[in-house]
Amino acid sequence: MSLDVVNNLVILAKLAITQSNNIDALEKVRIKFLGKKGYLNQQIKNIYHTPSELRPKLGAAINKAKKDIYKTFIEQKNILNSKRIKNTLIRDMLDVTLPGRLSDIGTHHPITGTIKRMKLFFKSLGFSVIYGPEIEDDYFNFDALNIPAYHPSRDEHDTFWFDEKRLLRTHTSGVQIRAMTDKNPPIRIISFGRVYRKDYDHNHTPMFHQMEGLMIDSNIDLSHLKKILYDFLYNFFGKKIDLRFRPSYFPFTEPSAEIDVMEQKTGNWLELLGCGMVHPKILHHVGINTEKFSGFAFGIGIERLTMLLYNISDMRVFFKNDLQFLEQFK
Ligand code: PHE
């Protein structure tokens, strides 16, 4: 009988509704059951085939069924809607706890790092930084440093010449001459820069870096030189390393010395820097009164210093642009 049909339709509709897992499917179910030509409205049309005394009851039952089904429909629609919202929220969720995407900031080249530390130390002693040209003329690189054309030590420099007069500086000592020519004592300067020599093996590259230091004042002697350089090296290596101060020869200093450092692994002495009291001949030449003033100069190989600090055995790695090597200094 029709009432059973209506009840069955309610059961079927509710089942279909609760099984719809998206809004489109749910809407199709709604049209199938509650639409104008849906199953329930078809039952209303069927009312005319039922005996008239049953019609009100059947009509009421159909209306109640429609309401019932509609209620379930709305419930399911709400469930699906909130599921959809939740899914989009999950999809678009911003996880504020994730680490940010850091842009890769580079690092200073180890040579630059060493230069910075050297600057810091010598600035604190009142030295100021000046720079000289990498393309020098033979006057500043040699003659003014008491290395005339016939002097044998010119040959030791393995110079890159451009022409008769111009060259790539073989050391930063030319900056001493420039400083003494430009300034009156007292003078305290340091200078950093690239220098060039025709040399290439694990301890030599055709371009390398030096730091030059010059101090001219009254009553300056060798003990000031030794003290300042020892303090610098102890500070740089962060401990009392084994050092050797030994006599040497440079045409522009008298007396001259070199400082060697003991390489821990091998026990070998490695030459680290050259230094000495500025030769009176040079002071005269730049017009400094040697009765009143004296001073010292030194030149340090920056690669050598950096190699000792980090235990690097091949100098060429500094100039290979190998990121794996360079990133270790972050
Ligand atoms: N210019 C010298 C060199 O390159 C080092 C040095 C500098 C020595 C200053 C004495 C004084 O070997």
Whole-angstrom distance, CA of residue 201 vs CA of residue 152 = 23
Distance 122 CA to ligand 1 centre (A): 17
Q: What is the mean pLDDT of residues 259-284?
A: 92
Residue 139 CB neighbours (<10 A): 12
Distance CA 311, CA 305 (A): 10
Q: What is the largest CA-CA distance in the chain?
A: 141
Q: How far is CA 10 from the centre of its chain?
A: 70
For residue 1, pLDDT over 70 is answered with no
Report residue 293 CA to chain centroid gap: 45
As a whole number of angstroms, the distance between CA 83 and CA 170 comes to: 77
pLDDT in tens, 126-179: 999 999 999 999 999 999 999 988 887 777 678 999 998 999 999 999 999 999
- Could you give the CA distance from residue 281 to residue 229 in angstroms, rounded to a whole number? 24
Q: What's the alpha-carbon Rg for the chain, to the nearest Å? A: 45
Give Cα separations from 43 to 16, 23, 47, 84, 285 (angstroms): 19, 26, 6, 34, 123
Please tell me the residue having the least CA distance from ligand 1 atom 10: 275
With 0-12 / 13-18 / 19 or more C-beta atoms within 10 angstroms meaning exposed / middle / buried, residue 20 is buried
Atom of ligand 1 nearest to the CA of 210: 4
For residue 118, which phi and psi values (nearest 5 degrees)?
A: -65, -45
Does residue 295 have its Cβ closer than 6 Å to ligand 1?
Answer: no
User: For the segment 44-81, what is each residue's pLDDT rounded down to a tens digit?
Assistant: 888 888 888 888 888 899 999 999 999 999 999 999 99
Question: Does ligand 1 have an atom closer than 6 angstroms to the CB of 253?
Answer: yes
* DSSP-based three-state secondary structure for 311: coil
> How many Å apart are CA 327 and CA 330, to the nearest integer?
6
Determine the pLDDT at residue 191. 98
Determine whether 183 is exposed, middle or buried from the number of CB atoms within 10 Å of its CB (0-12, 13-18, 19+).
Answer: middle
In whole angstroms, what is the distance from residue 173 CA to residue 142 CA? 9
**Chain segment 216-263, per-residue pLDDT in tens:** 999 999 999 999 999 999 999 999 999 999 999 999 999 999 999 988
Q: Which atom of ligand 1 is nearest to the CA of 170?
A: 4
Predicted TM-score of the model (pTM): 0.70
Average pLDDT over residues 15-27: 93
Q: Which of 205, 140, 206, 200 is nearest to 175 (CA)?
A: 140
Residue in this structure with the two tokens 């004592």, named with its chain if needed: 185
Q: What ligand 1 atom has the least distance to the C-alpha of 171?
A: 4
